[in-house]
Structure 1
């Protein structure tokens, strides 16, 4: 991967392990949060349901990668549908929370949480990959590079999200720059859907893949767009 990918990955690891893991732990729980964070929580809940609905209803025997698993909610739901899930996140602290929250009874499924890079080839092969809001901090060409790396080890589908370039999102980023740098995450990198489509369709590493469903979810301060890649 590119130098920008490595640099941004390091920034995110530092941010989530040193600054944001307690706030993220609260956001992804049932604890009361501010009105702004409540809209982010609701939007993330909607997005998680959307991405899971794009996977087969019965995941028995399927191996699923939750790339950027955070505190593990999506991975647990996939496991409850029968999948063998590997959840990987660059933040060891978030992985620790995910392990603590893993229920003892997952039916016929199983889940393992591991700190590390979603592109680590040692993770093996998968039937499906989900990357929810784990690519939104990377430039568009790095997003496509990650997708190509994941697709090379995936048999079925890759579903992911990106930050769509919208006036509302641009305004939120402008407001966010008023906060001290140590208190905010590395910048989100908005990209237009047309630009991302062009890069995906023009990348020879993804020549055996096509873009399927796409859906934008906007709930207050949460704006994110889901996209599906399936084998041609």
Structure 2
């Protein structure tokens, strides 16, 4: 018998963590505010991965509806809208959505809608593409596949990231399990890219990004329709 899904439990923990515990830290990380060298490397890595995922989409997104799944403070929303997309940015953390709202340039406000919701909710409607940058990295394989299946039912292209299984990241993950703390961030679950490729038809791997303690692998799921 298959183990019960932990998607909802993980999602609920992410909501509490990013809306309260880590809200200010993420606001600073995703701005141009001074941060530590470690976080500066993470910021640089996220910038590179954002560009990598955008390369999986057409340069001109005019007339296309795009879901930014797990939009956080809205950097990807702005980048997608700058390319002409009608963007729906969804996140579990209202505090981060408030930051995103405050950062939207005036000329893009009519093209971006921000909502507090589960990113896989079919009530969000149909899209031409979904982008999920670092919003699926906390889920184990059955929940990752389930979430991708739901997102793939909403759009023919899902550009997303995983935390690739590397020796350093695996060691960090094990250390987190060995020394649990009630207030630590939700665990990142590394996956071997080849295992993700085998998990669903229509999957391809993009470029990896490594910057300091930031490890991310671009992936894409293409579905008929």
> Is the partner of 2:128 in helix, strand or coil?
strand
Q: Name 1:222's counterpart in structure 2.
A: 214
Select 1:7's aligned residue among 6, 9, 12.
Answer: 9
Contact (CA 8 Å) 1:165, 1:192: kept in 2 or not?
Answer: yes
Q: Any runs of at least 4 consecutive aligned residues in structure 1 with deviations exceeding 6 A, and if so which?
A: 177-180
Tell me the equivalent position of 1:159.
159
Q: How does 1:92-171 map to 2 (within 5 A)?
A: 92-106=94-108, 110-155=111-156, 157-171=157-171
Q: Distance in 1 between matches of 2:42 and 2:175?
A: 16
**Structure 2 portions without partners, runs of 5+:** none
User: Which residue pairs with 2:203 in the alignment?
Assistant: 211
Q: CA deviation at 1:141?
A: 1.4
Q: Compute the displacement of 1:78 (Å).
A: 0.5
**Structure 1, residues 32-59: CA drift from partner, whole Å, max 9, x if none?**
1011111111100000011111110000
- Distance change >3 Å, CA 34–CA 182, structure 1 → 2: farther
Asked if 1 retains the 8 angstrom alpha-carbon contact of 2:15 and 2:92, the reply is yes
| Secondary structure class of the residue paired with 1:214 | strand
Report SS of the residue matched to 2:90.
strand
Name whichever of 213-222 and 43-52 sits farther off. 213-222
Q: What is the TM-score of this pair, normalised by structure 2?
A: 0.92
2:172 corresponds to which residue? Answer: 172
TM-score for both structures, normalised by structure 1: 0.90
C-alpha change, 1:180 and 1:194, in structure 2 (3 Å) is closer
Change (3 A) 1:213 1:191: closer
Mapping for residues 6-25 of structure 1, pairs under 5 Å? 6-25=8-27
